[in-house]
Amino acid sequence: MAKTKVAYFCQSCGFESPKWLGKCPSCQHWNTFAEEIIEKENKSIPNWKTPSTSMQRANKPIQVSDISFDEDQRILTPDNEFNRVLGGGIVAGSLVLIGGEPGIGKSTLMLQLALNMPSMKVLYVSGEESERQIKMRAERLVQSEVRSRKSEVDNVKSEIENSKFEIGSECYILTETSTQNIFKQIEQLEPDMVVIDSIQTLYSSHIESTPGSVSQVRECTAELLRFAKESGTPVFLIGHITKDGMIAGPKILEHMVDTVLQFEGDRHHVYRILRAVKNRFGSASELGIYEMLGEGLREVSNPSEILLSQRDEPLSGITISATLEGMRPMLIETQALVSTSAYGTPQRTATGFDTKRMNMLLAVLEKRCGFKLGGKDVFLNITGGISVEDPAIDLGLAAAIISSHEDIPIPFKTCFAGEIGLSGEVRAVNRIEQRIAEAQKLGFEQIFISKYNLESGGQNKKRIDLTRYNIAVKTVGSIEEVFSALFG
């Protein structure tokens, strides 16, 4: 009999200790250690395929020039937003972790993806729902897809029934939580893609601890990682999150996987945001936007249209700013409300924007422009429920604050793209041509940018040709010039 081993794991970061500790020496959190029983096993995880020559020689040093490299053949999905966030499609043998709030739509997103991959055999493993529950959701998603196809092509009913048969014909459902049983079914089915819902419900018989514990999550992820790399099968893991918004389990879970995706949004609103937090095969700043409907998730191909409200009359405190999320330009609506403080200490609240940067903008407006905002309540809001860290929206926010303070609306079809420095100058921002093109595409008449975007090396050499744009490009050097052009 193998001797049992007792160890203590930090529930926050996964640090292992042979004895209980009050404070974790790794993450500095208190009272996070829990006892777990680990049994030493002589069994090893079976090899999924005979190790290739490259796997055998990976144990000895190889020169970089001698390593054979083939570009990853990405698997394109019918979901263009999903492909964009992953960096161009699914990479064979990749391990992807998707986290989000309960009820946000993680299972719906992955089941919808599994049902719409007709050329691939997909195994959907669920440890949280029964087969009947998954079937009910799948029927709703299939009916929605059939209706969308029926609206695209006008054909006879038999062809619609054939399309219904194609949708989900290669999707297999397995309700199991034991990794050993899951791998037996994988060995028999030989799927092209595996979805695990969720990693916190799986358990391995090699470890004597409850599902969801640090050791179980780490062991199950290690087994799935080895399977993905040896077989070349992409694996998607759905993960729970804590009340702090972090993915539950040890921090090493995010280090082991290749890609970490965050599914964000408010359950009471229709729009969802898929954001890449970590991506070894592409950009980690891409963004995908979905609309949650009763029939599933719908891609939002042009997010600028949903982020801009349709107003019949001009209102003060509202501006449009050009921002970038990854490679995608977007126009967002920035709102500000400035009112007299009813209490001794003025309130400063920002939704979707950094509060410290808001305080910096208020200090610049008061110091450089002479606006008395020290005793005013200031509220900022980025519409659409998204969070923006792009400094290019500084100019739009400053204009919105002064517009609300003076109660003068900004002219219609006006857009802003510029960063504000501490001395009140409007600084240049990157990829200004894409921002101008997006504003022109949506019908805006003028856009305010920094004049330094047109200069190179301290000399007046134009980087961009403004004559090829139908939109009026206003170049400014300081925020005083912006306010004089807007408010006189």
Structure tokens at 447: 């856009």
Listed in sequence order, the DSSP H helices in 153-245 are 157-166, 179-189, 214-231
Asked if residue 102 belongs to a known ligand binding site, the reply is: yes
Asked if residue 106 belongs to a known ligand binding site, the reply is: yes
- Which among 44, 117, 120, 42 is positioned nearest to 82, based on CA atoms? 117
Q: How many CB atoms neighbour CB 431 within 10 A? A: 14
Structure tokens at 487: 């408010």
CA distance 334 to 393: 8
Listed in sequence order, the DSSP H helices in 79-119 are 80-86, 106-115
- Cβ partners under 8 Å of residue 469, min gap 6: 436, 437, 440
Structure tokens at 266: 């408010």
Asked if residue 163 belongs to a known ligand binding site, the reply is: no
- Cβ partners under 8 Å of residue 184, min gap 6: none
Residue 325 CA to chain centroid, in angstroms?
10
Asked if residue 105 belongs to a known ligand binding site, the reply is: yes
Asked if residue 333 belongs to a known ligand binding site, the reply is: no
- Cβ partners under 8 Å of residue 383, min gap 6: 307, 308, 309, 332, 333, 334, 335
CA dihedral sign, ordered 346, 352, 354, 357? negative
Asked if residue 219 belongs to a known ligand binding site, the reply is: no
CB 479 within 8 A of CB 364: yes
Helix, strand, coil % in the chain, rounded to nearest 5: 35, 25, 40
Q: Using CB atoms within 10 Å of the CB of residue 84, give its burial: 0 to 12 exposed, 13 to 18 middle, 19+ buried.
A: buried
Asked if residue 103 belongs to a known ligand binding site, the reply is: yes
Structure tokens at 412: 């219609």
- Which among 159, 157, 175 is positioned nearest to 167, based on CA atoms? 159
Annotated binding site: which residue ranges? 100-107
Annotated binding site for ATP: which residue ranges? 100-107
